Amino acid sequence: MPDLRDLYQEVILEHSKAPRNFHALAQANQKAEGFNPLCGDHFTVYMTTAGDSIQDIAFQGSGCAISKASASMMTQAVKGKSKAEAKELFDTFHKLVTTGESNGDREDLGKLAVFSGVSEFPVRVKCATLAWHTLQAALEGKQEKVSTE
């Protein structure tokens, strides 16, 4: 039986209560909106990119503890990274939250490894990945709102 404490780790709860980079970016040159129509979670991801580098990133919106903490920790994890590195990190993260495994790349995930418990709660995977899908859309310059459905 899955344990609630595996899902609601202290780090996750802390980020959900005090999310980092939780504001708009006036000078953002890339942004995207993500939406989960089933639960109403809604985030906007803002980025300032220069060439291939994500120089600054922030987000706004509302959602559950998992989605908000994931968005917060994502902004910390990808700030300063190249676009390719961010995409690679999303792949690793996605594998973690869907399977609980990470191909031995756990070190690359760093703090994001706390989300491994999400794999025990399949209906919450969309919460954990909403911000990441939105980031990906922003990187690809997609105009339409990203939906989990």
Q: Does 1 bind another protein (CB under 8 A)?
A: yes
> Hey, what are 42's tokens?
């809604």
> Hey, what are 41's tokens?
């979670």
Among residues 32, 28, 30, the alpha carbon closest in space to that of 42 is found at 32
Q: Does 7 bind another protein (CB under 8 A)?
A: yes
> Hey, what are 66's tokens?
């998992």
Using the rule CB under 8 A, give the single segment among 21-29, 58-66, 75-83, 139-147 that binds another protein.
Answer: 58-66
Residue with tokens 């794999």: 119
Q: Which residues are 62's β-sheet partners? A: 42
Binds another protein by CB under 8 A, chosen from 71, 124, 133, 148: 124
Binds another protein by CB under 8 A, chosen from 24, 38, 111, 147: 38
Binds another protein by CB under 8 A, chosen from 15, 31, 42, 133: 42
Using the rule CB under 8 A, give the single segment among 24-32, 92-100, 123-131, 133-141 that binds another protein.
Answer: 123-131
- Say if residues 149 and 39 touch (Cβ distance below 8 Å): no
Neighbours of 72 (CB within 10 A): 22
Compute, in degrees rounded to 10, the torsion defined by CA atoms 61, 127, 75, 11. Answer: 110
Q: Does 71 bind another protein (CB under 8 A)?
A: no
Nearer of residues 22 and 121 to another protein, judged by Cβ: 121
Positions that interact with another protein (CB under 8 A): 1-2, 4, 7-8, 13, 17, 38-42, 62-66, 68, 121, 123-124, 127
